[in-house]
Structure 1
Amino acid sequence: MSSVNRWKIAAALLGVCCIALIYRVFDQGITRTYLDASQETSVQHIKLLTGLVGHEWLGLPEEQVMSRLKAYAASQPPGSIVLKREPETNAIYLEGVRFEFRNGKLVNVT
């Protein structure tokens, strides 16, 4: 095999590698764009739902909110929902959503 043929094969292989890398970069860029859009939509939906819950439940006693959250958690598969109460901060946490209380009444959902 002559040195010219070796250079042609090496150039062809490098060309294929460059095309594959260019395709990968564009594919990752498109994937990232869709991922960012999906994440932004999810964040908007979470804000909407926490605002709705906060508006509807605002002023409810802590016991009533806790009983509603326990009923919801019990309706889900066991171990899939984390519900915890922290008396020192006057808050209840449901999977990262914080229900804040003052004087035993719900004042904020974040």
Structure 2
Amino acid sequence: MSRLLQARAGSWEMNTAIRWKVVSFALVVVCVALAYRVFDQGITRTYLDASVESSDRHIKLLTSLIEEDWRGMTQEQVLRCLEAVAQKRPLGSTVLKRDQETGAILFEGVRFEFVDGKLVHVN
């Protein structure tokens, strides 16, 4: 009888040791996966920030080019040019409106500001 108990106790200790090894291995795998995920998210964030910064620079460049080229145009001239662009795009995909309070024209988030009916700033 004591041999049977010793055999069971020995197998129980062996099962416990195997369980601990399996659990430890699983924890190591999970930790490595989480570390990889954090590292990958950091790289993704860096690329995203660089892309946003680049887009901002391009938008500022384009608005300054438009402002320089169109400065002095009347509201009607600017509106005609923007309507021509809007007509080339799919119906309903372009927002073009006039701000009645300030007299500015809004085109897809770009604000065309006028003083005395002439374009002075693109924002």
TM band (smaller chain): over 0.9
CA distance in structure 1 between the partners assigned to 2:94 and 2:116 by the alignment:
27
CA distance in 1, matches of 2:108, 2:53: 19
* Range 48-57 or range 84-93, more displaced: 84-93
Instruction: Name the % identity.
Output: 59
2:36 paired residue among 16, 23, 45: 23
Query: Counterpart in 1 of 2:56?
Result: 43
**Cα deviation, residue 88, structure 1:** 1.2
- Matched AA of 2:15: S
Query: Shift of the alpha carbon at 1:5?
Result: 0.6
Give the superposition deviation at 1:54.
0.2
Over 4 Å off, 4+ runs: none
Aligned equivalents of 1:73, 1:46: Cα separation in 2: 18
Q: Is 92-101 or 79-88 further displaced after alignment?
A: 79-88
Out of 72, 79, 96, the residue aligned to residue 66 of structure 1 is: 79
Unaligned runs of 5+ in 2: 1-13
Q: Using the TM superposition, give the Cα deviation of residue 56 of structure 1 relative to its aligned residue in structure 2, in angstroms.
A: 0.3
DSSP 3-state at the match of 1:50: helix
Larger helix percent: 2
CA distance in 1, matches of 2:100, 2:78: 14
The equivalent residue for 1:104 is 117
Provide TM-score, normalisation by structure 1. Answer: 0.97
With normalisation by structure 2, the TM-score equals: 0.87
Q: Please, which runs of 5 or more residues in structure 1 have no aligned partner?
A: none
Which stretch shifts more, 78-87 or 19-28? 78-87
Q: Find the counterpart in structure 2 of residue 3 from structure 1.
A: 16
Q: Which amino acid aligns with 1:103?
A: D
Give 1:36 deviation, angstroms. Answer: 0.5
Quote how far apart the aligned CAs of 1:109 are: 0.3
- Please give the alpha-carbon distance, in whole angstroms, between the structure 2 residues aligned to 1:86 and 1:34: 36
Letter aligned with residue 14 of structure 1 = L
